[in-house]
Chains A and B, each alone.
Chain A
Amino acid sequence: MTAIMEMRGITKTFPGVKALDDVNLTVMPGEIHAICGENGAGKSTLMKVLSGVYPHGSYEGEILFEGQPMAFRGIQDSEDKGIIIIHQELALVPLLSIAENIFLGNEVASGGRIDWPETYKRTTDVLAKVGLREAPNVAVGKLGVGKQQLVEIAKALSKRVKLLILDEPTASLQENDSQTLLDLMLEFKAQGITSIIISHKLNEIRRVADRVTVLRDGHTVSTMDAPISEERIIREMVGRDMDSRFPERSPQIGEVLMEVEGWSVRHPEHAERMVVRDVSFHVRAGEIVGIAGLMGAGRTELAMSVFGQSYGIKTGGTVKMRGTAVDTSSVRRAVTAGLAYVTEDRKGLGLILDDPIMRNTTLSALQKVSTNSVLDSGKERQVAEDYRRALAIRTPGVFQKVMNLSGGNQQKVVLAKWLFTDPQVLILDEPTRGIDVGAKFEIYTIINELAAQGRGVVVISSEMPELLGLCDRIHVMNEGAFVGELGRGEASQERIMSMIVKGKEEHHGRVA
């Protein structure tokens, strides 16, 4: 059997960095081929070369598709051949309908006039193929992320796809949506469509992939056939054996640092919708408290509301730090009270991407590197250098734009920014989202150190193993309310899930 797609000796250099160095990738027809690697290993770059985002001539090496050498000048060229890539950040227009999005740039039209009945008919057909039951004229912005992902895939199907590339398709999906998506991939495989999946979730890869290629530092490390061992992938990715995915820690838990009582938040637009309902919790010094829940449970909303009322309209509740009530009604006041919030949306809310590491590091506490509002550039640089070293941010210097850093390094910059404010309590929202295994371990180590320093840490995460591995206590949140609490010994994925489900039933029972 000959390969459907082959990349040979691909080398791609950016000013000062060799992103890909002699990478080889062979994909057989009809298989699901997974690509793994730490962030910065070159996965996305490789896919951009394949799809023509980096045009022919800007890299060395050759691409063969169905036996023919390819020279893509842009995405249009690769799409014409049937190579379609679905990026992690979805490329849909939220105000346009599903049908309009699916046929955007590829309209069913004659002489510039759109044939709407035919468009809707074809949309209904492809939506059925991906198992999405929505009317074709619904605006995409009204759908959840999971459904939007399916619209993207439907769009790919409408284009006669031969090779489907999914870049971290389940990164922002909930468990059941992820399962639907993986099932769909297997179904496509049965229909003879070849797929490439880039993912950090090794259990998903093990479930669907026929073969796995591991990249490390811009090199191909190896290609493995099924059955796939997670331990081996991890070993190949990081280049070392990982004894444990979570660092050892012996908690030293002290007095109560922060108490939140009766916190309630209304939706910013729909006044009748309560997003957070009467939530109370506390964090002790040296303690790591987890908040588990499905997406949309109100965890981020709770955190952002406590942190300077940055979300929605607060309708009740108090925050106490070390027993005294504090004002957290603006971000500045919350920071003064000793709070820090590390957002789940690094690029959108956490960083100024165009700015260098240094400026991002000092942004929240500029007064510490200035006298009478005049900045001390030398001191600022030193502070940034210190944090770069302390958190092992892997860059040549602090003048690197954060835009060019990997996800793990970006997250460390956000952490550095908040550590520089010297907070007593940190709320970390999805601290390892989109971060590879090796960097995750480092982030966990940092979190443990923060607790060891006597700070309180609140971790919000959708990955249950992460919460189980890190936290001393876990609160379970569902539909805006806390529905249960589990100590380190008693928590398990099954118990958390059952609390969520039970909470749901209770809630629905009350409504009915």
Chain B
Amino acid sequence: MAASPEAPGLGSYFRNNLREYGILVALVVIMGYFQFATGGVLMRPVNLTNLFLQNSYIIIMALGMLMVIVSGHIDLSVGSVAGFVGGLAAVMLVHWNWPVAVVIPACLIAGFMIGAAQGYWIAYWKIPSFIVTLAGMLVFRGLALWLLEGASVGPFPRSFQALSTGFVPDLFGVGKPNVTALVLGGLTALALVYLSVRARRRQMKYGIEDEPFVIFAVKNALIVFALLFISWLLATYRGLPNVLITMAVLISAYTFLTQSTTLGRRIYAIGGNEKAAKLSGINTERLTFLTFANMGMLAALAGLVFAARLNTATPKAGVGFELDVIAAVFIGGASMAGGAGKIVGAVIGAFIMGVMNNGMSILGIGIDYQQVIKGLVLLAAVIFDVYNKNRQG
């Protein structure tokens, strides 16, 4: 069985998985380029910390958007919803003096309800998601303006700001370098290696060995190195940002949900062929509905994180976020037609956008050129996808 026709050689393995490695390689190349071009500023601890803070809300929304796009839909309202919920949080905290511990769950529930309301029309009335969420985009932008009465509301209590700009305190009391960051980084690396070794063992037990050992080893070594390197860099500044922990937990949870659960599998099936999924006994309406409700909740979380970072809610918050989020998901290899795409891809896609934003800003490239370059990168990524697909026939 080891010599089954599916056990591929190194070359063919790379060719077949070009897309998945291609995007990772692209990220590394882009980071390398900006590290060089900015004279090392990109990877400075303070900038790296900023990079995570700046992109956290895009990544959080990309997780939900990936599932929306995989199920064959789109959500244009996420930027407005994030802005609206940020405003809602501000009103609750500043005008009504609600405690943070109430505001956060209340806002997440509000986001869930908003997503559910849109999902209801999309799932049960079969109204195209493009139209429903376009309407939602206008409605919630307007509601954000109304709620904040056109003005900025802030500042927030420190405990709310900690959602974004807080750092995990050093439990070992050393301070610099932050030992907690190093320990957590190391533990995460160990856990990842353990998980991938276990998965590989399992595959071999069932006689599948899709990945050549060399690649397996190199891949794991690189992941461990990257994790340790980044946690060391962060440790020399202020340690792990709270939002990084939030992101890591969410990324793992959604990776697990999409790749290893029946729920995730069914969402892919709906995007692949909705009618066949329905005739296979899948409750397509309910899943579509839940996908949008989940998106609403993640948009709300992103709105909270964004407001906490600025320490103020403005009516303009979240404008254009939906485009960055959607771009990240498509750069990450999701298919417009639905049924294909991965969480990891969407996250890497978001980082590619983020590193480019950050790098180009450091270099002092004007916002005009930045937009053009980002647009071309998106186009190139999708062209690469289509080319790849055609090549495989």
Q: Are B279 and A341 in contact (CB under 8 A)?
A: yes
Residues of B within 8 A of A375 (CB): 260-262, 265
Q: For B5, list chain A residues within 8 Å (CB).
A: 396-397
Q: Which residues of A contact B203 (CB under 8 A)?
A: 377-378
CB under 8 Å from chain A, chain B span 362-393: 392-393
B260 is contacted by which of A335, A374, A381 (Cβ under 8 Å)? Answer: A374
- The prevalent SS among residues of A at the interface is mixed
- Across-interface contacts of B339 in A (CB, < 8 A): 352, 354-355
Near B by CB (< 8 A), chain A positions 355-412 give 355, 359, 363-364, 366-367, 370, 373-375, 377-378, 381-382, 396-397, 399
Binary B-proximity of A269-313 (CB < 8 A = 1, otherwise 0): 000000000000000000000000000000000000001101000
Contact A378 B206 (CB under 8 A): yes
Given A373-B262, A374-B260, A374-B261, answer yes or no on A335-B278 (Cβ-Cβ < 8 Å). no
> Are A335 and B281 touching (Cβ within 8 A)?
yes
B95 close to A (CB within 8 Å): no
**24 A–B contact pairs at CB < 8 A?**
A14-B393, A308-B279, A308-B281, A310-B279, A331-B280, A335-B281, A341-B279, A350-B276, A351-B276, A352-B269, A354-B340, A355-B268, A355-B269, A355-B272, A359-B268, A363-B280, A366-B262, A366-B266, A370-B261, A377-B202, A377-B203, A378-B202, A378-B203, A378-B208
- Taking CB atoms, residues of chain B closer than 8 Å to A355 are 268-269, 272, 339
The answer to whether residues A397 and B273 also contact, given A366-B262, A378-B206 and a CB cut-off of 8 A, is no
Q: Contact mask B253-289 → A, CB, 8 Å, 1/0?
A: 0000000111101101100110111111111000000
Are A350 and B263 interface neighbours, CB within 8 A?
no
Which of the residues B205, B275, B281, B393 comes within 8 Å of A15, measured between beta carbons?
B393
Q: Give complex CA distance A224, B279 in Å.
A: 44
Q: Is A111 an interface residue, CB under 8 A from the partner?
A: no
User: Considering the chains assembled together, what is the distance between the CA atoms of A382 and B279 in angstroms?
Assistant: 24
**A353 to B393 alpha-carbon distance, docked (Å):** 14
Instruction: For A366, give its contact among B265, B340, B393 (CB under 8 Å).
Output: B265
Q: At the interface, yes or no: A343 with Cβ under 8 Å from chain B?
A: yes
Could you tell me if B6 and A396 are in contact, using CB atoms closer than 8 angstroms?
Answer: yes
Q: How distant is the Cα of A367 from the Cα of B265 in the complex, in angstroms?
A: 11
Residue of A nearest to B339 (CB): A354
**Cβ contacts under 8 Å, A511 to chain B:** none
Q: Is A332's beta carbon under 8 Å from chain B?
A: yes
> Which A residues touch B208, using CB under 8 A?
378, 381
Contacts of B279 in A (CB 8 A): 307-308, 310, 331, 341, 343, 349-350
- Near A by CB (< 8 A), chain B positions 276-317 give 276-283
User: Is B17 part of the contact surface with A, judged by Cβ < 8 Å?
Assistant: no
Interface residues of A (CB under 8 A from B): 14-15, 307-308, 310, 330-332, 334-335, 341, 343, 348-355, 359, 363-364, 366-367, 370, 373-375, 377-378, 381-382, 396-397, 399, 417, 421
List the 8 shortest-distance A-B pairs measured between CB atoms, nearest first: A352-B272, A378-B206, A366-B262, A331-B281, A396-B5, A364-B280, A332-B281, A352-B273
The residue that B277 contacts in the complex, of A14, A352, A373, A396, with Cβ under 8 A, is A352
Query: In the complex the two chains form, is B262's CB within 8 Å of A367's CB?
Result: yes
Q: Does the CB pair A378–B205 fall under 8 Å?
A: yes
| A353 lies within 8 A of B206 (CB) | no
Report the nearest A residue to B6, measured CB to CB.
A397
Cα A308 to Cα B208 in complex, Å, equals 37
Q: Is the CB of B278 within 8 A of A310?
A: yes
Residue of A nearest to B283 (CB): A332
Inter-chain CA distance A343–B277, complex, in Å, is: 12
A370 to B6, CA, bound (A): 24
Kindly list chain A residues whose C-beta atoms are within 8 Å of the C-beta of B277: 352, 363
Interface residues of B in 162-208 (CB under 8 A from A): 202-203, 205-206, 208
Within 8 A of A (CB), among B6-29: 6
Q: Which residues of B contact A352 (CB under 8 A)?
A: 269, 272-273, 276-277, 339
Chain B residue with the shortest CB-CB distance to A421: B281
| Neighbouring A residues of B202 by C-beta, 8 Å | 377-378
A367 to B279, CA, bound (A): 16
Inside 8 A of B263's CB, which chain A residues have their CB? Answer: 373
- CB-CB < 8 A to B266: which residues of A? 366
Closest Cβ of chain B: how far from A253's Cβ, in Å?
29
A334 partner residues in chain B, CB cutoff 8 A: 281
- State whether A363 touches B6 (Cβ < 8 A): no
* Shortest beta-carbon distance from A227 to chain B in Å: 40
Q: Determine the chain A residues whose CB is within 8 A of the CB of B260 once the complex forms.
A: 374-375, 377
Q: Contacts of B272 on A, CB cut-off 8 Å? A: 352-355
- B210 (CB) vs chain A CBs: closest residue: A399
- Whole-angstrom distance between the alpha carbons of A363 and B272 in the complex? 12
Which residues of chain B are within 8 angstroms of A354 by Cβ–Cβ distance?
A: 272, 339-340
* Min C-beta distance of A339 to chain B, whole Å: 10
CA distance A340 to B5 in the complex (A): 33
List 13 other contacts, CB 8 Å, given A308-B281, A341-B279. A310-B279, A331-B282, A343-B279, A351-B276, A353-B273, A355-B269, A363-B265, A363-B280, A364-B281, A373-B262, A377-B202, A378-B203, A399-B6
Complex CA gap A417/B279 in Å reads 11
Closest to A418 in B: B280
| Bound-complex Cα distance A348 to B278 (A) | 12
**Distance between Cα atoms of A364 and B276 in the complex (Å):** 10
Question: How far apart are the CA atoms of A267 and B133 in the complex, in Å?
Answer: 32
What residues on A are CB-neighbors of B269 within 8 Å?
352, 355, 359, 363
Contact in complex: B280, A417 (CB < 8 Å): yes
Q: A14-B393, A373-B261, A396-B5 are in contact. Are A349 and B275 (CB under 8 A)?
A: yes
Docked Cα-Cα span, A62 to B321, in Å, equals 55
B9 to A: closest C-beta gap in Å? 13
Chain B residues whose CB sits within 8 angstroms of the CB of A310 once the complex forms: 278-279
Contact of A397 among B4, B205, B280 (CB under 8 A): B4
Contacts of A335 in B (CB 8 A): 281
By a CB distance below 8 angstroms, the chain B residues around A396 are: 4-6
Once bound together, how far apart are the Cα atoms of A349 and B280, in whole Å?
A: 9
Measured CB to CB, the closest approach of chain A to B204, in angstroms, equals 10
Smallest CB-CB separation from A395: which chain B residue? B5
Which B residue sits closest to A14, measured CB to CB? Answer: B393
With the chains together, A355 CA to B263 CA distance in Å? 16
Contact partners of B282 in chain A: CB under 8 A: 331, 363
User: Interface centre among B260, B265, B277, B339, by most A CB within 10 Å?
Assistant: B265
- A349–B276 touching, CB < 8 Å: yes
Q: Is A15 in contact with B206, judged by CB distance below 8 angstroms?
A: no
Of the residues B206, B280, B393, contact of A381 by C-beta under 8 Å = B206
Q: Mark B89-117, 1 if CB is under 8 A from A, else 0.
A: 00000000000000000000000000000
Question: Which residues from B are CB-within-8-Å of A366?
Answer: 262, 265-266
Give the docked Cα–Cα distance between A404 and B206 (Å).
25
CA distance A212 to B111 in the complex (A): 66
Bound state CA distance, A310 and B6, in angstroms? 38
How far in angstroms is the closest Cβ of chain B from A273? 22
Nearest CB of chain B from residue A59's CB, rounded to whole Å = 13
CA distance A417 to B206 in the complex (A): 21
* Nearest chain A CB to B342 CB, angstrom units: 14
- Whole-angstrom distance between the Cβ of B209 and the nearest chain A Cβ: 12
**Smallest beta-carbon distance A382→chain B, Å:** 6
